[in-house]
Amino acid sequence: MKEDVLTWSLSDQLFGVSLESCKEVHREVALTTVPHAQHYLSGIVNIRGDVVTVINLGKLLGYTDAIDNKHGDTINVIRLKPTGTGIMAENVEDIIQLESENYEPARAHLEEAPAKYVRAVAITDRGPILLLRTDQFASSGRVDEQ
Amino acid sequence: MVDYSKLLNNYISEASDLLDEAEEAVLALENGFEASKVDRLFRAMHTIKGNAGLFDLVRIRELAHAAETVLGYVRNQTITLEMDGIDLILMVVDRLRQMMSDTEKSNEVEIEDLIEKLNALAGETIEKSEDSENGSAGTVSEHGPEGEGTAAVTSSTIRLKISLPSKYVKEAELEGRVLTLILIEPDSIAHMPLTQFSAMVEGLPGQRKAILPVSEKSTRIVIVLSAAEPLDTDSLKSQLPADAMIRVLDKREKEPQQEAQTGATQPDQPKEDAAASPKEATAKTNGKEKKAVQSGSHENHLKVSAELIQSLINLASETVIARNELVQKVQESGDTSLQASTKKINQLVSRLQEEIMRTRLQELDLLFQRVPRLVRDTSHATGKQIELVTEGGDVELDRALIDAISDPVTHLVRNAIDHGIEGPEERKAAGKGPVGRLELSAGLRSGNVILNLSDDGRGLNYDRIREKAIEKGIASTEHAMEMDHKALADLIFLPGFSTSQEVTTTSGRGVGMDVVRSNLKRVGGSAEIVSETGKGTTVTLVIPQTLSILNCLLLRSGDARYGIAQANLKEVLQVTKEDLDHIREHLAYELRGHLLPVVDLQQLLWDKTDDEGQFIAVVATETHRFGLLISEVLNSEEVVIRPLGPEFADVRLFAGAAIMGDGEAVLIMDVASVARHMDLDPASIANEEIAAMNLSDNMTDGYLLFDSAGYRFGVPVGSVPRVEKISRKHIDKFLDLETINYRSQIVPLVSLDKIYDLGNHQRAEDLYMIVFQINGFQVALLADDVFNVEDQFQALDRDTYSGPSVHAQAISNDVKVLLLDIQDLAMNFKKDHSHKLKQKEELEREKEEKQKVESA
């Protein structure tokens, strides 16, 4: 089965979400940081009058080189369906079509902590793409963290 | 008194929502089995079925029941829904919708075809179903009070089981009443129009009547009459169709009769089901009201999705923000014709926003309907007798706000019954009637909904509160002794402050009143308590009618902007680092002889000190008063607060975020949470408040002092005065009315020298005006010089009359001050000048028109 996937990169790693679970992409919006929030939350942004929560994926996955968000940073945000939670994307790349037969289980490639947020790994000629489990982010509560 | 027609309308609208939901769920099922969708579908059908029974909508009930049965099997995966099954469910949804659109005729709609198909779908499993249903009826008897009583009506030929909600039986038992059950065959009333039927029922003796279906599966109905004495069955027979059967259920003093056994027909009806309270209400419904329903008023309402309304609200609030930006820019441009146009836009946008907010208004009955059930449950649990009176259920309030106050009201009602109202014995001993009275009333006052809950119970035990306050270290012994009842009562709202000696099942775990207050504050409201020991307690909730715009002061701290509600802001002070005292690790500032705790906002938020902090915003809540050390005061702006996402649930410092004119999302501080977070000591503040209170009840916040015409005046800070510097040449004159253009509105100016006849006074070139917004009327006092806020005076005389709208005379810094009653002053001024003001506005408008024509 073929699947359209929106991809972006973070710390030299390609990520992707199924286009179906992607609400919209916003480039260069000003970030408002929220003090005392969980470390993996970048803060909030205004998208057409909506106050949108933005998740810092690097922090969530425990990357050592994850970006520290600063107040007033302009960031790219991918909003997920259905709740509209945002994910900060450092470089939004193309939408590509993947063959689900080429997917491999996340556990084969990742440690347990990040594997929780990854549905599958797609092996492509551009390197492996980590496909996110969007239900982990789009639920109405806190992200299930280790 | 609950209105039957409203209940039916609520039911219809709820049912249509459920049907929409059901349809969505069915459609989702087309893509494969999903337990949550089946669950939703099942519950929708179940609720529709359950509630239909209350309104005598037999066919709707039957159809929903058949569908529910099928869905039950789908749910436990006994059968799977194939394409034709999904089609069938969709047809059921459509048919139910059709019946809902005209409930009066719903009992004539053909449903047999669908029922047949549904039964066929349930197919082989149907037998099993009956077994399991019988089984459940047997086992549920352990449920006790939640189950339903079953009585048997016997005649010479037929023996029938009638399921009767256990509350009828229990109520009759409790009140020593006799229930008379009349069983009516559907055929015998088939020819009878509904009006005649209801007239017949109305003509029957007995105080309380209810019409119920015999059981889930039967179309027979049973009329329940409740009376103090057994009714004369012979005379009853003469009023009824010939084949009606009568059975008397007399539970007085006797053991439950043999036939009366506990069983259940609806074991899965949740206890808190919304249907439960309407059930009770229907019991008191008479035929006339029913007729009123049939003419139905719900057609006059459009059903609009909440989503659309929300997007309208968002658009409106964005428009307001854009308008603010525009008005500001136009003001700076100095182009009068442009200013005229923006003025109009300004007003229109305000009105538009207001009207859009009104679309979210719902009647408070939504909330009030749940109260009788709550009162019943709580009073039964506590063995108290309560008479509930509700009033003002037609008052409208924003839907989100109704939801927001639902928990607090539930809590207050429980509290009142649990701790307020005494048991019958104690009441008698206190010389009161055995039945406690609980009154829940709502009214509208200047854009706020005022909700009062009063009981005639034992009231607050002030001595106990005082003890507790000392015990908990909230106040020193000396201080507690000085506190008056009002201040003591207010302590109830402190977190963890509970005076209840024992903890009961229903309330009194030390959480409570503080949550009530914080819930209300979150929506911009307030909660107050007044109580007279031995006589009763009244809790007053003030809630803004709409979630409209919040007046906010924007400030800068470090590199970010934050907002605080103007209502919390008392004053802003410019300070230098040297002015601040360090007491242990805490900052403090000496403000007019009192030590004001100061919170460094940078420290609080980002754990670093604010090097440039040079302003203190003095903020106050009901319990705390403290200063926020900030870098800079920006402008004040009207904003719409949006909640933060659920991901931020553990961050309590913010009330939400607001989108600014430049598109940035700005966090709005929740001042009360900041105080809580910093663990500020409320007692030290209470001290100051009390000192002020002793001076006068309504000047807890002090007075802003200013000079006008050579005299010194004071206006209460509580009236939120805004001081603006103006130039004499900007004052317009129309007859003897002076006005000024302020934020593109005409604001009338009050010269105190004219009001108090202080003689001719030469005005300086630059002067001040103090702007007030009193009951929606904007007015400004002219002042030559403005001083600080004073809450302590050398002398105060409230008794000698010194002029109209004067509260009191006082001496401050050896100068005599007239403390003004600004409310009174503004209203009097409005009365005297409204005519002229209108003329002036008219004139302005004409001028604009002319300008426009000229520029065109």
**Chain B nearest CA to A139, separation (Å):** 9
The yes-or-no verdict on residue B510 having pLDDT over 50 is no
Residues of chain B contacting A55 with CB distance shorter than 8 Å:
647
Residues of chain A contacting B319 with CB distance shorter than 8 Å:
none
pLDDT for residue A7: 92
**For residue A111, which phi and psi values (nearest 5 degrees)?**
-75, 170
pLDDT for residue B162: 57
Nearest CB to A32: which of B647, B649, B665?
B665
Tokens of B823: 């409310």
**Residue-wise pLDDT tens digits, B346-359:** 888 878 887 887 88
Beta bridge partners of B25: none
Residues of chain A contacting B313 with CB distance shorter than 8 Å:
none
Per-10-residue mean pLDDT, chain A, length 146: 88 87 90 92 86 90 85 91 86 86 80 79 88 70 44
Residue of chain A whose Cα is closest to the Cα of B603 = A35
- Inter-chain CB proximity B647 and A37 less than 8 Å: yes
The yes-or-no verdict on residue B96 having pLDDT over 60 is yes
Chain A contact present for B642, CB below 8 A: yes
Residue of chain B whose Cα is closest to the Cα of A85 = B645
**Residue-wise pLDDT tens digits, B372-401:** 878 888 888 888 888 889 888 888 888 888
* A119-123, B14-18, B323-327: least confident range: B323-327
Residue of chain B whose Cα is closest to the Cα of A43 = B648
* B223-237, B672-686, B815-829: least confident range: B672-686
Tokens of B540: 């007053």
The yes-or-no verdict on residue B46 having pLDDT over 50 is yes
Residues 659-688 of chain B with CB under 8 A from chain A are 659, 663-667
Best of A29, A32, A47, A140 to disrupt the B interface (most B CBs within 10 Å) is A32
Which of B99-108, B412-421, B757-766 is most confident? B412-421
Q: Exposed, middle or buried, B118 (CB in 10 Å: 0-12/13-18/19+)?
A: buried
- Inter-chain CB proximity A32 and B644 less than 8 Å: no
Nearest CB to B606: which of A35, A38, A72?
A35
Chain A contact present for B306, CB below 8 A: no
pLDDT for residue B304: 80
**How would you list the strands of the sheet with B148-154, edge to edge?**
B159-165, B148-154, B261-263
- Inter-chain CB proximity B315 and A49 less than 8 Å: yes
Inter-chain contacts counted by CB atoms under 8 A, chains A and B? 80
DSSP state of B531: E
Q: Which residues of A touch B (CB under 8 A)?
A: 30, 32-38, 41, 44-46, 49-53, 55, 71-72, 83, 85, 140-143
**Chain A nearest CA to B617, separation (Å):** 20
**Residue-wise pLDDT tens digits, A80-92:** 887 788 999 888 8
Tell me how far apart the alpha carbons of residues B503 and B492 are, in angstroms, rounded to a whole number: 16
- Inter-chain CB proximity B645 and A52 less than 8 Å: yes
pLDDT for residue B138: 33
pLDDT for residue B701: 63
* A98-107, B151-160, B589-598, B718-727: least confident range: B151-160
For residues B64-87, average pLDDT: 81
pLDDT for residue A35: 92
Q: Are B498 and B509 in contact (CB under 8 A)?
A: yes
The yes-or-no verdict on residue B185 having pLDDT over 50 is yes
Q: Which of residues B496 and A63 earns the better pLDDT score?
A: A63
Q: Are B829 and B778 in contact (CB under 8 A)?
A: no
pLDDT band of residue B187 (cuts 50, 70, 90) is low
pLDDT for residue B501: 47
pLDDT for residue B213: 63
Mean pLDDT of chain B: 74
Chain A contact present for B653, CB below 8 A: yes
The yes-or-no verdict on residue B283 having pLDDT over 60 is no
pLDDT for residue B549: 64
Residues of chain A contacting B314 with CB distance shorter than 8 Å:
49-50
Nearest CB to B642: which of A51, A71, A83?
A51
* A120-124, B293-297, B643-647: least confident range: B293-297
pLDDT for residue A76: 92
Question: Model pTM greater than 0.80?
Answer: no
Q: Are B513 and B440 in contact (CB under 8 A)?
A: no
Q: Are A22 and A81 in contact (CB under 8 A)?
A: yes
Output b/e per residue, B487-526; b: 16+ Cβ within 10 A.
bbbbbbbbeebbbbeeeeebbbeeebbbebbbbbbbbbbb
**Chain B nearest CA to A125, separation (Å):** 33
**Residue-wise pLDDT tens digits, B102-147:** 877 777 778 888 888 888 877 644 443 343 334 333 333 333 333 3
Chain A contact present for B554, CB below 8 A: no
Q: β-pairing, B745-750 with B737-742?
A: antiparallel
pLDDT for residue B3: 61
**For residue B404, which phi and psi values (nearest 5 degrees)?**
-65, -30
pLDDT for residue A53: 93
pLDDT for residue B288: 37
Chain A contact present for B307, CB below 8 A: no
**Chain A nearest CA to B666, separation (Å):** 7
For residues B476-491, average pLDDT: 81
Any idea which residue has 């529910």 for tokens? B68
Residue of chain A whose Cα is closest to the Cα of B321 = A49
The yes-or-no verdict on residue B504 having pLDDT over 60 is no
Nearest CB to A46: which of B605, B647, B665?
B665
- Inter-chain CB proximity A30 and B664 less than 8 Å: yes
Best of A26, A36, A42 to disrupt the B interface (most B CBs within 10 Å) is A36
DSSP state of B7: H
pLDDT for residue B271: 39
**Residue-wise pLDDT tens digits, B835-852:** 777 887 788 778 777 776
pLDDT for residue B453: 92
Residue of chain A whose Cα is closest to the Cα of B318 = A49
- Inter-chain CB proximity B643 and A55 less than 8 Å: no
Q: Are A114 and A66 in contact (CB under 8 A)?
A: no
- Inter-chain CB proximity A53 and B648 less than 8 Å: yes
For residues B435-443, average pLDDT: 91
pLDDT for residue B777: 80
Q: Which of residues B220 and B309 earns the better pLDDT score?
A: B309
Best of B353, B647, B664, B670 to disrupt the A interface (most A CBs within 10 Å) is B647
pLDDT band of residue B440 (cuts 50, 70, 90) is very high
**Residue-wise pLDDT tens digits, B579-597:** 888 776 778 888 777 778 8
* B174-178, B315-319, B472-476, B528-532: least confident range: B174-178
Residue B703 C-beta-side C-alpha neighbours within 13 Å: 29
pLDDT band of residue B24 (cuts 50, 70, 90) is confident
Nearest Cα residue to B612 out of B557, B681, B654: B557
pLDDT for residue B446: 55
pLDDT for residue A54: 94
* B152-156, B442-446, B561-565: least confident range: B152-156
